[in-house]
Amino acid sequence: MHAPAGLRLDYLSPAEYRVAECAGVLGVATFNGPPAPTPGSGEIPVAEVNTPLLLGTADVCEVWRSGQPAESGRRNRVRFRRSENLLFGCIALAESEIAPAVSAGPAAPSALQVATEEAYREICATLDALGFPHLLRVWNYLPDINRDSDGLERYRQFNRARQHALSACGRAVRGKVPAASALGAASGSPLVVYFLAGRVAPAFIENPRQLSAYRYPREYGSHAPVFSRATLLRQRDSLTLFISGTASIVGHRSIHVGDTAAQTRETLANIAALLEEANRVERTARFSLGSLACKVYVRRPADLPVIRAELTRALEPASRVIYLQADICRQDLLVEIEATGMCPLKADA
Distance CA 83, CA 249 (A): 37
Mean pLDDT of 311-323: 92
Per-residue pLDDT at 3 exceeds 60: no
Distance CA 94, CA 119 (A): 11
Mean pLDDT of 50-75: 88
Write out pLDDT tens, residues 81-97. 999 999 999 999 999 98
Distance CA 246, CA 49 (A): 19
Write out pLDDT tens, residues 258-271. 999 999 999 999 99
Give me the pLDDT at residue 248, please: 98
> Which residues are catalytic, by number?
336
Q: Which domains does the chain have, with CATH numbers?
A: 8-344 (3.30.1330.40)
The model's confidence at residue 346, banded by pLDDT at 50, 70 and 90, is: low
pTM of the full structure? 0.94
Per-residue pLDDT at 5 exceeds 60: no
Write out pLDDT tens, residues 202-218. 999 999 999 999 999 99
Per-residue pLDDT at 40 exceeds 70: no
Write out pLDDT tens, residues 120-162. 999 999 999 999 999 999 999 999 999 999 889 999 999 999 9
Give me the pLDDT at residue 22, please: 64
Helix (H, G, I), strand (E, B) or coil at 61: strand
C-beta atoms surrounding 280 within 10 Å? 11
